[in-house]
Amino acid sequence: MPTTDAPWAGDACSLVDAFRRGERSPVEELDATLAAVAGSSLNAWSYLDEETARDTASAADVSLPFGGVPLGVKELDHVAGWPFTQASVPLKDEVSAYDDTKVARLRGAGAVLVGLTTASEFGGVNLTRTRLNGITRNPWQADRTPGGSSGGTAAAVAGGQVTLGTAGDGGGSIRIPAGFTGMVGLKVTYGRIPKGPHHEVGSLTAVPGCISRSVRDTARWLDVSNGHDSRDPLSLPRVDGWEEGLGSSIDALRGMRVAVIPTFGGAVVAPDVVAVVEDLAEWLTDHLALRRHDVDVRIPSMGTAWSLAGLIAEFASLGDRWPACEDELTPEIRHGMRFAEGRYGIPARIRLEQRRTELFEAMAGLFDEVDLVVCATNPDVAFPAEGPLPDTFGGLESTAANNGKLTIPGNIYGNPGISIPAGDVGGLPVGVQVMARHHAEALLLDVALAVERERPWPLVAPGAPS
């Protein structure tokens, strides 16, 4: 384990254990975290609250689930008194008046909130590069992106600065950066973690979550953050025992039907990435006795409809600042808003709901036939940090819209999916996505746990503090 002058190189659960044994103190860990952030060129943070964090660390109750653990908070989340810029220059002076429900629950679990990790503007792009904060870099190779929109959290966790951070997934924004940085990224069933207070329903695709180094960290995160909140009427009842139950369903996986579809959703996927998916799928079928099942599935393309529906929130956030502020926006958001103008009306809404229903039917039909789906998380390894979104994947041509094809269907349908570190191509991590029916997160955690036990992955990127 690391010395006290470097951040903890294990997972959050083992850090709490070290606190409880008296081998390390929350203040020592915070000092190490702040020093690592100050010396880093990853640009993973947009705001630090050192004074408050130090006060919290000094008074930390290490008997709590995350007692004393430094935590990064994605800058699209609300923390009372902290900036709420949504990574957008026109909103640079906005300040949040309240904590998100999950943030309040993490405080209650003893976490030390260090600051805000960078995100893509409004969470709308799967790389983290904005006019407000600049370029966030992947700790595996600094010229590559950590993905987005939760890119700062992924960079900070994989880069050895904090063991854990908040994230959110509206079109892949947990799974995509987790895949690019070799971390664990679980998108839960829609409603599993509440989104209040002041919850706006929006396009019914985004779920809160975390990016972590280990399966048990994600399970403990669920224990802390899940459960109905009256300010989010669509949130689900509380389920206990996520961490305690880890491994309990591994035997139940035996004989389950799995569809291995590396190019799920019609995505174009680099051949080297397909090979990693197939390798892990073969391991899963052998070691978990899954039954591979061929299916004929056609998932309707929802990229444009998903984008249009999501952009309405951006119009609402910018208000009368638009269109005068368009030159202050990142190119992708500016282009998207111009594209949406005049296109999102009654006919477009009707078509969107028709396509959503088609996708529901296709996904339901798929899970009538199989229990699990294994596919790529991303169509290729991480692309250049400055962008733009690529349109070629392992030499195969497509369009920029291909970048979210593997993940968006799960957001629209609302079922859970997890990105599991599975290997590398050219020294860059490859994540494999496993999806299941609604409410089956425990199965996904146990699939990931089986892989973690037998095919462990680096908890921090090579070259990060250790």
Residues annotated as catalytic are 74, 149, 173
CA distance 160 to 36: 8
Residue 280 neighbours by CB under 8 Å, 6+ apart: 374, 420, 422, 423, 432, 451, 455
- Residues 454, 422: contact at Cβ < 8 Å? no
Q: Provide the 3-class DSSP secondary structure of residue 263.
A: coil
Whether the CB-CB separation of 40 and 7 falls below 8 Å is answered with: no
Q: Mapping DSSP to helix (H, G, I), strand (E, B) and coil, where does residue 307 land?
A: helix
74's tokens: 């994605």
104 C-beta neighbours (distance < 10 Å), count: 18
Alpha helices in 370-418 (DSSP H): 408-413
Q: Which token pair is 463? A: 């070259």
Place of tokens 């909103």: 91
Which residues share a beta bridge with 71? 113
Q: Report helix, strand and coil shares of the chain as percent, to nearest 5.
A: 40, 15, 45
Cβ distance 385 to 127 under 8 Å?
yes
d(CA 423, CA 276): 7
- Distance, CA of 207 to CA of 190 (rounded, Å): 6
Distance between CA atoms of residues 261 and 116, nearest Å: 36
Q: Is 383 helix (H, G, I), strand (E, B) or coil?
A: coil
DSSP secondary structure, 94-106, as one string: -B-SS--HHHHHH
Torsion of CA 358, 359, 361, 362, to 10 degrees: 120
64 contacts 21 by C-beta, under 8 angstroms: no
Q: CA nearest 193: which of 20, 343, 359, 416?
A: 416
Q: How many CB atoms lie within 10 A of CB 404?
A: 26
- Listed residue (148, 74, 206, 109) closest to 330, CA to CA: 148
Report yes or no: 66 and 106 within 8 Å, Cβ to Cβ: yes
* Residue 324, burial from CB neighbour count under 10 angstroms (0-12, 13-18, 19+): exposed
